[in-house]
Amino acid sequence: MAEQGFRKWIITITVIMASLLELIDTTIVNVALPEIMGNLGATLEDAGWLVTGYAVANVIILPMSGWLGDRFGRKNYFLASILIFTLASYLCGQASSLTELILFRILQGLAGGGLLSTAQAILMETWPREEIGMATALFGLGAVVGPTIGPTIGGYIVDNSNWRYIFYVNIPVGAIAAFLVSMFVRESPKFAKGKPIDWWGILLLAVGVGSLQVVLEKGESEDWFATPYIAALTITTLLAGIGFIWRELSTDHPVVDFRILKDRSFAVGIITSFALGFALYGSVFIFPVFCQNLLGFTAFQTGLILLPSGVATILMMPFVGAMLKKGVPAQFMATGGFFLFFIFCWMLSNSTLESGTGDFFWPLIIRGIGMAILFVPLTTLAVQGLQGKQIGQGTGLNNMMRQLGGSFGVAILTTLIHLKSGEIRNLLIENINPYNPAYIQRRDGQIQMLLSKGYSLLEAQQKSNGMMEGTVIKQTMLVTYDHMYLLIGVFVLAAIPVIYLQKFKKKPVIVTDAH
């Protein structure tokens, strides 16, 4: 039942607040990894499981969130997710070893996976259908601002305090959100209460999706199938995935209802969500690495550079909701969003080692506008034909596909960076030879400069070789990252025709998706 007045607004604010908990924590930990490694005496490979464990737990629970809400009641499940997430945040801050921290991060991921899809369902029940456009715009602000400000908040905390406070900051927000949910959110029907639990489906889902996420997160660093456990997990993913699909289609009470894929718009929509996840998380993965490793920016500076993108999205979101409410086809808006994302990628593909903050301002503004007219239309197109409890199932699957798109994007880009950098390095080294006048001129200039500073001839030659090697490394990575931006741009352009396989609807019900 739709709410009115103060209650409607307080529920909306509560939903956004709870969603921000999960969205910020998907990115805030990354910038703190070096501090955590130093404090707990961990290697980068071991500390990486803090990110992997959270992502694996998150992606396992996402497709189950609709069923869990139906079984226990949406309010109860949402409240439990907030409380467990807040408790897990406290335990992460108190962790005395890396093993403890990883376990608590997994618990945090399990709780966080239940926040977003459930929040969307609550929002849709709270606002009248004729006012859902404004609700969508407000919720979309949290969906975009969370991942954008995560690195900024994390960088500021790490630079000015202890890494443990990146977890402690969740506690007051979680406590307030839990109180507001208990006071103002109404309970929803428990569609699955008393029905048999699909234990085999839950087991196969956890094993299949969990194995896939580990393969994607760790494949590149472990040399893919040359490592036995990666090869074993890949086989496990295939077998468990086939078994899970068969189980869910053959049982009367599935934990994930694949029958909603009969709706053409939803079936196509999860493909476009995958593409959006690939582009969104892929670009977010490359940009900070480029800024910090090649341009020498700190994590906090990189986060500040990203803020204009979030501001642009905030300013555009109400406009997007209004346009969809007036009947502008979601396909047209999503096409514009993908095209703007391509322009952003193309502009960054022309970056140089002299690029500064001013060079990134307009590309990131364009990215922010593009994201504003992608999130809401794509999700609207996906769920426009779903009804009742199908919406909870649909938002869960849609979120999972976006998350998997991001995981595939990062894994593919990481592998391509490794392969492309080797190829480009070989091409550059071919020009470093005694028959290349440009190389000879630069080397002689360096040697003369070093001799004038008091170095011996042998020392000057050795330092010149080192300087040349440093130049090759930087140029190699620059050209590689530029190529990756262009690759992401081409990928999003290729996704545009898929949008038009979905049904046109004059005035769709506007919903948003996050993560």
Instruction: Indicate if the alpha-carbon torsion angle 478, 368, 411, 51 is positive or negative.
Output: positive
pLDDT in 10s for each residue of the chain, 515 residues:
566 667 888 888 888 888 888 878 777 777 777 778 788 877 766 777 787 788 888 888 888 888 888 888 888 999 999 999 999 999 999 988 888 999 999 999 889 888 877 887 788 778 776 666 566 667 666 666 676 677 778 778 877 888 899 899 889 989 999 999 998 888 776 666 667 888 898 899 889 888 888 888 788 777 788 888 889 999 999 999 999 889 888 888 888 888 888 888 888 888 888 888 888 878 877 887 788 778 888 767 877 887 788 788 878 887 887 787 787 888 899 999 999 999 999 999 998 888 888 889 999 999 989 988 888 788 777 777 777 677 777 777 887 888 888 888 888 888 888 888 888 888 888 878 777 788 788 888 888 888 888 888 888 888 888 888 888 888 888 899 899 999 999 999 999 999 988 777 644 444 444 44
Q: Which of 183, 173, 66 is nearest to 120 (CA)?
A: 66
* Number of domains the chain contains: 2
pLDDT of residue 382: 78
CATH number of the domain where residue 42 is located: 1.20.1250.20
Say yes or no: 94 and 81 in one domain. Answer: yes
CB within 8 Å of 182: residues ≥ 6 apart: 79
User: How many whole angstroms separate alpha carbon 202 and alpha carbon 193?
Assistant: 16
Q: Is residue 281 part of a domain?
A: no
Q: Is residue 477 part of a domain?
A: no
Say yes or no: 178 and 30 in one domain. Answer: yes
pLDDT of residue 505: 63
What range does the domain containing 172 cover? Answer: 1-191
pLDDT of residue 61: 87
Domain boundary among 153, 175, 191: 191
Say yes or no: 215 and 184 in one domain. Answer: no
Q: Which of 482, 385, 465, 387 is nearest to 429 (CA)?
A: 465
Q: Which of 347, 382, 349 is nearest to 364 (CA)?
A: 347
Say yes or no: 47 and 68 in one domain. Answer: yes
What does residue 481 show for φ and ψ, rounded to 5 degrees? Answer: -65, -40
pLDDT of residue 356: 84
Where helices occur in 356-456 by DSSP H, the ranges are: 357-383, 390-429, 437-452
- Contact present, 372 and 332 (Cβ < 8 Å): no
Burial 206-230 (b: 16+ CB within 10 A, else e): bbbbbbbbbbbbbbbebeeeeeeeb
Say yes or no: 73 and 216 in one domain. Answer: no
Say yes or no: 104 and 235 in one domain. Answer: no
Say yes or no: 4 and 137 in one domain. Answer: yes
Say yes or no: 181 and 123 in one domain. Answer: yes
Say yes or no: 76 and 206 in one domain. Answer: no
Hunting for tokens 């079936």 — which residue is that?
267
Question: Got the DSSP string for 165-198?
Answer: HHHHTHHHHHHHHHHHHHHHPPP---TTTTSPP-
pLDDT of residue 451: 84
Burial class (CB in 10 A: 0-12, 13-18, 19+), 470: exposed
User: How many whole angstroms separate alpha carbon 53 and alpha carbon 490?
Assistant: 31
- Contact present, 404 and 348 (Cβ < 8 Å): no
User: How many whole angstroms separate alpha carbon 351 and alpha carbon 291?
Assistant: 11
Q: Is residue 225 part of a domain?
A: yes
pLDDT of residue 289: 77
User: How many whole angstroms separate alpha carbon 335 and alpha carbon 332?
Assistant: 5
pLDDT of residue 486: 92
Q: Is residue 177 part of a domain?
A: yes
Burial 85-107 (b: 16+ CB within 10 A, else e): bbbbbebbbebeebeebbbbbbb
User: How many whole angstroms separate alpha carbon 284 and alpha carbon 371?
Assistant: 13
Q: Is residue 35 part of a domain?
A: yes
Domain boundary among 141, 160, 191: 191
User: How many whole angstroms separate alpha carbon 31 and alpha carbon 150?
Assistant: 9
Q: Is residue 459 part of a domain?
A: no
User: How many whole angstroms separate alpha carbon 391 and alpha carbon 120?
Assistant: 9
CB within 8 Å of 401: residues ≥ 6 apart: 270, 271, 273, 274, 277
pLDDT of residue 88: 94
How many other C-beta atoms lie within 10 A of the C-beta of residue 413?
23
Q: Is residue 88 part of a domain?
A: yes
pLDDT of residue 195: 78
Burial 360-391 (b: 16+ CB within 10 A, else e): beebbbbbbbbbbbbbbbbbbbbbbbbeebbb
Say yes or no: 100 and 204 in one domain. Answer: no
Burial class (CB in 10 A: 0-12, 13-18, 19+), 189: exposed
pLDDT of residue 144: 66
Q: Is residue 369 part of a domain?
A: no
Length of the chain (residues): 515
- Contact present, 282 and 235 (Cβ < 8 Å): no
CB within 8 Å of 130: residues ≥ 6 apart: none
Around 309, how many Cα atoms within 13 Å sit in the side-chain half-sphere? 28
Say yes or no: 99 and 74 in one domain. Answer: yes
Residue 238's SS3 state is: helix
Domain boundary among 191, 209, 232: 191
C-alpha pair distances (Å), 454 with each of 444, 463, 468, 469: 16, 13, 20, 22
Say yes or no: 60 and 170 in one domain. Answer: yes
- Contact present, 485 and 353 (Cβ < 8 Å): no
pLDDT of residue 129: 64
